């Protein structure tokens, strides 16, 4: 098989899977690639698929999986990540507040660090609100 034929087989595989389940890529386990290779071998057995062609199919399938996944889910995943970052910052802020009384040599700096944590939390919350259309003044501009 030529490289283009293998790439076409990859496209066929994803077209078939996505037709059955539009969120297929979001539901798969790590063994999806083995299932894809099995599909390739079964559907192209009349072409006597070689080991090298199977490896090439896997390589193209992984690359195409990443491309489709990023198109469909990157924005959603980034928003989830933003929430995780916010939670980590809140935890760090709490940890810092629980120990800041030990730093007595330069109280202004100690309070500045606490203030920066608060500001960072506010900025992250604002970004989350903007991304999730929770800022009334921006809703009109977006619509």
Model pLDDT for residues 125-140, shown as the tens digit of each residue = 999 988 888 887 766 6
When pLDDT is cut at 50, 70 and 90, the band that residue 142 belongs to is low
Q: Could you read off the pLDDT of 26-48 as tens digits, one per residue?
A: 999 999 999 999 999 999 988 88
Spans of all domains in the chain: 3-72, 75-142
Alpha-carbon torsion angle 13, 18, 24, 26, nearest 10: 110
Give me the pLDDT at residue 105, please. Answer: 84
Of 130, 98, 132, 136, whose CA–CA distance to 117 is shortest?
98
Task: Give the pLDDT of residue 89.
Answer: 95
């Amino acid at each position: 098989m030529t490289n283009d034929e293998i790439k076409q087989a990859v496209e066929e595989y994803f077209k078939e899977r996505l037709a059955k389940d539009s969120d297929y890529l979001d539901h798969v386990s790590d063994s999806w690639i083995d299932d894809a290779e099995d599909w390739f071998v079964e559907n192209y057995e009349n072409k006597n698929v070689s080991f090298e062609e199977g490896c090439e199919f896997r390589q193209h399938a992984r690359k195409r999986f990443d491309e489709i996944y990023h198109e469909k889910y990157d924005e959603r995943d980034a928003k989830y990540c933003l929430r995780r970052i916010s939670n980590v910052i809140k935890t760090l802020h709490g940890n810092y507040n629980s120990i800041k009384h030990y730093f007595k040599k330069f109280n202004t700096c100690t309070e500045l660090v606490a203030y920066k944590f608060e500001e960072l939390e506010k900025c992250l919350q604002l970004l989350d609100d903007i991304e999730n259309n929770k800022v009334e003044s921006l809703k009109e501009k977006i619509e």
